[in-house]
Amino acid sequence: MGYTEHTPKIVASEKTTAVYPGTFDPITNGHIDIIQRALGLFDRVIIAIAINSQKKPLFSLKERIDLINQCFGPENDRVQVDTTSGLIVDYAEEQGACAIVRGLRAVSDFDYEFQLALMNRKLARKVDTIFLMTGFRWIYISSSIIKDAAKHNGDISGLVPIHVQKALQNKYHADYQG
């Protein structure tokens, strides 16, 4: 398969940016796995917390930003946390991103994500969608499942960073002394 006018030229000196959108309520080890693997593909990853007025997150926007920043620390200048309320593909273009990263856990995720990717491609041809399979050990977790387990005193250790585990326990169990 040869080069065509539709095949993008890859320039080694170009800095590449990808956007990883989600509500991150809260961030899980599955999210972190996707972000770390995206950093192997891109120079910079913007974690875009999508603001959706129809969702009622457990953590405030500021709390989610803080929880994410604690995962990567200030020394990692390749990870940026931001917020957006519009179309992710528009946000990606505004940021100069070449890709939107999406994590897939199961085949059931793919149908919806594929439809979104096709619409995004229609809206912005220069922004690709990259699907990364969640690491096998995280395939069954989601923020919703984590929150439900934490609410009912389930053991979520190892599924979220320790600071996220403590934040969940503080949200659900005011008497938690962690």
* C-alpha–C-alpha distance, residues 156 and 149, integer Å: 7
pLDDT on residue 154: 95
* C-alpha–C-alpha distance, residues 96 and 16, integer Å: 8
* C-alpha–C-alpha distance, residues 26 and 142, integer Å: 9
Which of 31, 64, 102, 147 is the catalytic position?
A: 31
Which of 37, 78, 105, 171 is the catalytic position?
A: 105
Write out the two tokens for 38: 């995206």
102 in catalytic set: no
pLDDT on residue 16: 95
Q: Report domain extents, the chain.
A: 17-137
173 in catalytic set: no
CATH classification of 17-137, choosing from 3.40.640.10, 3.40.50.720, 3.40.50.620, 1.20.1290.10?
A: 3.40.50.620
Residue 19: beta bridge partners?
Answer: 46, 100
**At residue 103, what is the residue type?**
G
Which of 15, 55, 122, 152 is the catalytic position?
A: 55
Write out the two tokens for 115: 């439809």
**At residue 114, what is the residue type?**
F
pLDDT per residue as tens digits for the range 51-81: 987 889 999 999 999 999 999 976 688 999 9
Which of 44, 64, 102, 143 is the catalytic position?
A: 143
pLDDT on residue 177: 54
CB 61, CB 99: distance < 8 Å? no
151 in catalytic set: no
* C-alpha–C-alpha distance, residues 21 and 58, integer Å: 18
pLDDT on residue 71: 95
CB 45, CB 18: distance < 8 Å? yes
For the whole model, what pTM was predicted? 0.87
pLDDT on residue 135: 86
**At residue 74, what is the residue type?**
P
pLDDT on residue 2: 54
Give the residue with greater pLDDT, 12 vs 122.
122
Is the model's pLDDT at 176 over the cut of 80?
A: no
